[in-house]
Amino acid sequence: MAAALAGCQTLPGAKGGMEKADTRVTASAQAQTQAVGAPHAIVENRQALDLRVFLADTRSRPGWTPVPLKPSGMLYVQPMAVIDRGDLIGIQSATDQKGDGVLVLILGDEGLRKLREATAANPGLRLALVVGHTMLAAPEYAAPITQQQLAFGVGSAHNAELAARSVAGVDAAPMGAF
């Protein structure tokens, strides 16, 4: 199933897609990533793209939204986000040891509490990262999230920087940029 999640997905009714996305989630990005851009504070900006993180599974669940995966497969996403842009105190683009792009979410205390509770109550599922209307990654998590930095592989360093700036409201990308 990892191969089916390798491509970024566009939610139904949305435009666009991104380059290859990583399928692992790291609770703390500090030891495994190198910052590409400076951390961005989350600012009020009408052009900033929304960011949401949903619980997701590869098995059908009642009331969860099916999202087709490229090239094949299906992901089922809980309709209510666990956290959103308002739960962030910052966001940063980075690269992993192979040079692939990583988007690092810096959670506020309330966001961390919500994510910790959701991942503890739902072990072994996935966290679907959506920026604007584009699903950038949906990696599995093995244990409850307990750290304030949450890293998602998003393909290229360019993807990570574009997403970080767009969510932060700094030179926000147009809706079709992803």
Domain ranges for the chain: 9-171
Given 3.40.1280.10, 3.30.1330.60, 3.30.1360.200, 3.40.50.1820, which CATH number is that of 9-171?
Answer: 3.30.1360.200
Tens of pLDDT, residue by residue, the chain (178 residues): 222 223 344 343 333 333 333 333 443 333 344 454 555 555 566 678 899 999 999 999 999 999 998 888 999 999 999 999 999 999 999 999 999 999 999 999 999 999 999 999 999 999 999 999 899 999 999 999 999 999 999 999 999 999 999 998 876 555 445 4
The whole-model pTM stands at 0.76
Tokens 């209307």 -> residue = 133
Cα gap 124→101, rounded to integer Å: 24
Cis peptide before 12 (omega within 30 of 0): no
> Six-digit token pair at 52?
């949401």
Dmax of the chain from CA atoms? 41
* Cα separations in angstroms, 162 against 37, 83, 93, 138, 165: 10, 20, 8, 18, 5
